[in-house]
Amino acid sequence: MPSQVAAALRTATKGLLYPSESDEPFAVFEWKTANESLTEERLLELAGEPKDSPVKSVPLDMFFADLTKEQDWHADDEKTAVEQYRNLLSVLKDRLSDVKVFRVGEVEVAIYVVGQAKDGGWVGVKTTAVET
């Protein structure tokens, strides 16, 4: 049964697309693990990514900086997306601890935003960015 955090993340990401060369939706995931730290190597293992994949960590606030900043030139749908990203960031910060952002791969980049739930497992959202 999905946790309350996963349910809150599903609500926060409903209809939200990550902007890149191909705008992609978010998927919510839960990894039930022992109370352990999440290293780049452990992330690749839990996510089922190839062990030799390049991984880059990005600070949470840096990842969301442009996504949560409303611009004068934004149309209504872009302003709505900014509000959704602000809400998503709030859910992540309020409901999870030790939230990290991992970018896995090159060109087609899997993005994992993941934090530790109170039960010790890891919960987060995944999307894909295409960057050529």
pLDDT tens for residues 60-101?
999 999 999 999 999 999 999 999 999 999 999 999 999 999
User: CB of 20 within 8 A of CB of 129?
Assistant: yes
Is residue 1 scored above 60 in pLDDT? no
Q: Which residue has the tokens 């749908």?
A: 77
CATH number at residue 12: 3.40.1460.10
Report the alpha-carbon distance of residue 32 to residue 98 in Å, rounded. 16
Least confident of 32-36, 76-80, 124-128: 32-36
Alpha helices in the chain (DSSP H): 4-13, 40-47, 60-65, 76-95
**Region label for 105, one of left (φ > 0), alpha (ψ between -120 and 50) or beta (otherwise):** left
pTM, to two decimals = 0.94
**Count of domains for the chain:** 1
CA 132/CA 115 separation, integer angstroms: 29
pLDDT mean over 8-20: 96
- Quick check: 32 pLDDT over 90? no
Domain that holds residue 14: 4-130
Question: How does residue 2 score in pLDDT terms, banded at 50, 70 and 90?
Answer: low
**111 close to 27: Cβ distance less than 8 angstroms:** no
